[in-house]
Amino acid sequence: MSWSVERLKFIADGMLGKLTRWLRMLGQDVKYSKSIEDDELIRTAKAEGRVILTRDLKLYQQAMTKGFTAFLVEGSTEAEKLTDLAKRFNISLEFDVTTSRCPKCNSRIISVSKEEIMNEIPEATSTYYDDFWKCSDCGQIYWHGSHWKRIEKTLREAREALEKR
């Protein structure tokens, strides 16, 4: 089955916080709460037309029995999990800031000038970086800092694994 990336929305169970952040960075709309109960997760998936992402076999089976689209996340590394999801749902493993969402709250992020956020970032950050993005809802500020190499490495590993499948 081919999935439309533009319209796909997910809801992730409490075991998938890190994966949720990755998917949001990749532009996916992912609802997440650490404390959501299985019944509420299924009700939300139904009400909002979301695909259920879970590591819980019982929840996966329950969702599938009730006719919901669900995906059992089985990979052990983030790259493996991303590869599996990209294969199943045709998710791009390329970071695109124009479609990216806030990893923390799922809202859109927008490009901002350094001058707009100078008082909100460390001085050293403003010295070494020029490109910044800000969440349109929670106000979190992002830039391609020292962690960016690890992000690129994980995405590269996932892309390479996907090409081998």
Q: Cβ–Cβ contacts within 10 Å for residue 65, how many?
A: 9
User: How many separate helices (H) and strands (E) can be counted in the chain?
Assistant: 7, 7
> What is the pTM for the complete model shown?
0.92
Region of residue 78 (phi > 0: left; psi between -120 and 50: alpha; otherwise: beta):
alpha
Q: Domain residues of the chain, as ranges?
A: 9-89, 109-164
Length of the chain: 165
Q: What is the pLDDT along the chain (165 residues), one digit of tens a residue?
A: 444 445 799 999 999 999 999 999 999 999 999 999 999 999 999 999 999 999 999 999 999 999 999 999 999 999 999 999 999 999 999 999 999 999 999 999 999 999 999 999 999 999 999 999 999 999 999 999 988 999 999 999 999 999 998
- Please give the CATH topology (third level) of the domain spanning 9-89: Rossmann fold (3.40.50)
